[in-house]
């Protein structure tokens, strides 16, 4: 876990340093969107480092699409 955390911190730090000049030139809206994106990246990075399977996109997709997808595939797999 520590190695993964170190890699995540390193990668995010590199990206922040690389983007710092562009970030400084941006307006409020750009900075807000950038901040939200980096927050999402940090969350997912920590999820990867911890390896605990925190809620992510697939949980949302499972909630919405599991039942109808199962109905469709069951229909296709049933004998005619």
Partner 1 sequence: MNVKETVSPVQMSTLFFIFMTGSAIINIPGPLIGFAKNGAWLSLLISSAFGFFALACMLYLHNKYPGSTYIDYAKKMVGPWLTALLSVPLILTMCHMASGIVLDMGLFLTTTMMKKTPIFVFNAFTFTLIAFTVRAGIEVMVRMFTNLILIMLFFVFIVLLLSIPNYHPDYILPIMPDGIKPVLHGAYFSFGFPFAESFLFAMLLPFAKKNPGKKYSLNRWMYIALLLNTVILILSVICVIFVAGPVSGDVKYSLYMVARLIDFQDIIQRIESVIGMTLIAGSYMKATVVLFVLNLTLNRLFALQNDRLLIFPLALITLFLSVVIFDSEIQWFDIVSSKWPLWIGAAGFVPLLLLTLIASCKQK
- Per CB under 8 A, residues contacting partner 1 are 4, 7-8, 11-12, 15, 18-19, 22-23, 25-27, 29-30, 33-34, 37-38, 40-41, 44-45, 47-48, 53-54, 56-58, 60-62, 65-66, 68-70, 72-73, 75-80
Shortest distance, position 28 Cβ to partner 1, whole Å: 11
User: Could you tell me the CA-to-CA distances from 23 to 4, 66, 70 in Å, in that order?
Assistant: 27, 40, 45
Task: Give the contacts of 31 (CB within 8 A, at least 6 positions apart).
Answer: 23
Q: Which of 22, 44, 45 is nearest to 33 (CA)?
A: 22
Q: Tell me how far, at minimum, the Cβ of 62 lies from partner 1, in Å.
A: 8
């Amino acid at each position: 876990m520590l190695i993964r955390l170190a890699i995540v911190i390193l990668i995010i730090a590199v990206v922040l340093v690389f983007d710092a000049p562009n970030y400084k030139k941006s307006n409020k809206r750009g900075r807000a969107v950038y901040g939200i994106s980096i927050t999402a990246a940090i969350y997912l990075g920590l999820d990867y480092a911890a390896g605990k399977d925190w809620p992510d996109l697939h949980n949302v997709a499972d909630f919405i699409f599991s039942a109808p997808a199962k109905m469709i595939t069951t229909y296709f797999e049933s004998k005619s």
